[in-house]
A and B are shown apart, each in its own frame.
Chain A
């Protein structure tokens, strides 16, 4: 396997692993908890390094997962004191843990290579050279094994506990009544997220892990209302970001992890603007359409109300419409045109009169209005 392929595949696997449980983090409003966890595992990694007397996959993993669990419990303990808001607790715990980590590194491992930049944005570029040996047998790049494992773990977690996660997320009260503890689900999710973070940390660093967990899932939520679809979409968007991010990074000779995070942002921006239901453009157009529909209805009812009155002609003049209905002249003209196009009214010069179809519509609108008023 070429080294480019290893990097690309590692990126795709990390992105998918994170996106799978990321959907639940978005829905449970816990996005910043990932930020806290990803920073706070540093002292755990350092402790693992210290205990194993050198870089060791398992010791580092164990230390980091412990640190992650400690972070979640500390944040919750601080919140439960009732002395500070939730986000303040996060803002106190993770910088303290991160500071402790950097402090220990610079104080006791000044001569050790624990690269500061790698902590923040990882070194996925080295993935092809970090090979896994078991009993001296070369099994290929270690990152691929770790990330495949994480992907599998997340996929199993999300699919096996799908119903439980869904109920506990959307209706914790019902979950408790049905007999499974929302707290247990919460801690299971936190454990899976912590383990995934630790694995992904080595590839993409502390901050970009957050991008992979949160951004594809948030993008997916703008595209669908169905949880299962959201999870699948999140994984697909994550993978797409990894591939396109890798291409951009190679073209610019820039950081792969940074490019992947940037691409997640680009896809989010696209969904934010152009998502079919929840996008900015779709919503602006919907609003516009509703304004026109309502305007036509108002015009029809207005005409109906004045059909019998002696000054019918004056009531229907464009100038009068804009003062009585508080419309701009151009809006009044536009509404009149729309109504005429739909064959709801006839215009001859300045005079507007309802067609049969227009009258039926105006009468039903007026009745709906009256029953609303009642």
Chain B
């Protein structure tokens, strides 16, 4: 199996693509989670659909890069609208997220059905973004994903101090003269890149977990941001690769859902058994304390 990982063309692409997604979304997800924007990724993933459709309608091309640019632009527009609604109305962030998510996606579905019924008929490549089809990844896709992901990670590394400050105390950052708003937009843009990478692999619905899961799992093991980001990347990559391996070795197992299920196992394991914060140790400690108190 492990040798096939390096020799089998399909398996290598699927595993590489999923690992890339895990690393990028794991690292970036840490900042989203710490800024309490865990579900932003969910909204942006849904909002990307109309962007993909419009890009196809305008260019007639299904090249990954064209569709991904469409997705990124739509994600951007959605972010902008989201921030405007939160700033200008009394609606909560949570309502604004749900509004943007569902109306953008609804419009995307209108476009998708319009495209498929208007006879151009080769929309077949578009609906794989709904559920993701890691199994259809080819070397070209993986290269595009690798380039995008590397760019996102480089920016993250270059600005990690600024992002750290933004994540823990945005007002302090602003008072020090950092362009807090610009940094926030940049960070969101990087998250859009992670989503764009994820759409082809795990699809719209499961993307939320790829951002939130690794970060929450990593948080249980450490109190240091740097370690948390590294760990989240490792957890993301591990669930990506194990998902790919399991789904290829067993018949009738879709890659995306298996990746998310592996990730869920990691999250639950960390939640219960992480050294300092694990719930199991908590429960044991409490029981001991009660026993001590009773014996006193």
Contact = CB atoms under 8 A, between A and B. Distances in A.
Contacts of B256: 99, 102
A84 B219 contact: yes
Interface stretch (A90-98, A299-307, A310-318, A333-341): A90-98
Interface in A213-244: 213-215, 218, 221-222
A120 B204 CA distance: 10
A38 B106 CA distance: 15
Given A91-B39, A91-B212, A32 B94 contact: yes
Contacts of A208: 102, 105-106, 109
B253 interface: yes
Contacts of A222: 89, 91
Nearest to A255: B113
A35 B38 contact: no
Contact of A261 (B109, B216, B267): B109
Interface residues of B, number: 62
A121 B107 CA distance: 11
A103 B247 CA distance: 10
A106 interface: yes
A23 to B, nearest CB: 11
Contacts of A32: 39, 42, 94, 97-98
A265 to B, nearest CB: 3
Interface stretch (A145-153, A195-203, A246-254): A246-254
Q: Tell me if A's interface is mostly helix, strand, loop or mixed.
A: helix
B103 A264 contact: yes
A293 to B, nearest CB: 22
B264 A257 contact: no
Nearest to B260: A99
B101 to A, nearest CB: 7
Given A95-B209, A96-B209, A211 B267 contact: no
B148 to A, nearest CB: 22
Contacts of A83: 216, 219-220, 271, 277, 279
Nearest to B118: A253
Interface string A248-285: 11001111011111101100100010000010100100
B271 A257 contact: no
A34 interface: yes
Interface in B22-54: 33, 36-39, 41-42, 46
Nearest to B46: A207
Given A87-B39, A207-B105, A218 B258 contact: no
Interface in B177-233: 205-206, 208-209, 211-213, 215-216, 219-220
A257 B42 CA distance: 20
A272 B252 contact: no
Contact of B208 (A91, A211, A221): A91
A85 interface: yes
A31 B98 contact: yes
A99 B113 CA distance: 24
A29 B33 contact: no
B89 A272 contact: yes
Contacts of B161: none
A87 B95 CA distance: 12
Contacts of A265: 99, 102-104, 106-107
B205 A39 contact: yes
A62 interface: no
Contacts of B279: 81, 83
A254 B107 CA distance: 10
Contacts of A249: 110
Given A221-B90, A261-B109, A29 B103 contact: no
B127 interface: yes
Interface in B78-103: 85, 88-92, 94-95, 97-99, 101-103
A81 B104 CA distance: 34
A99 B261 contact: yes
Interface string B227-271: 000000000000000000000000011101110110010010001
B103 A91 contact: no
Nearest to B254: A106
20 contacts: A35-B42, A84-B216, A87-B39, A91-B212, A95-B208, A95-B209, A95-B213, A98-B206, A98-B257, A98-B260, A106-B253, A120-B109, A208-B106, A211-B99, A214-B95, A214-B99, A215-B98, A253-B117, A260-B106, A261-B102
Interface of B: 33, 36-39, 41-42, 46, 85, 88-92, 94-95, 97-99, 101-114, 117-118, 127, 130-131, 205-206, 208-209, 211-213, 215-216, 219-220, 252-254, 256-258, 260-261, 264, 267, 271, 277, 279
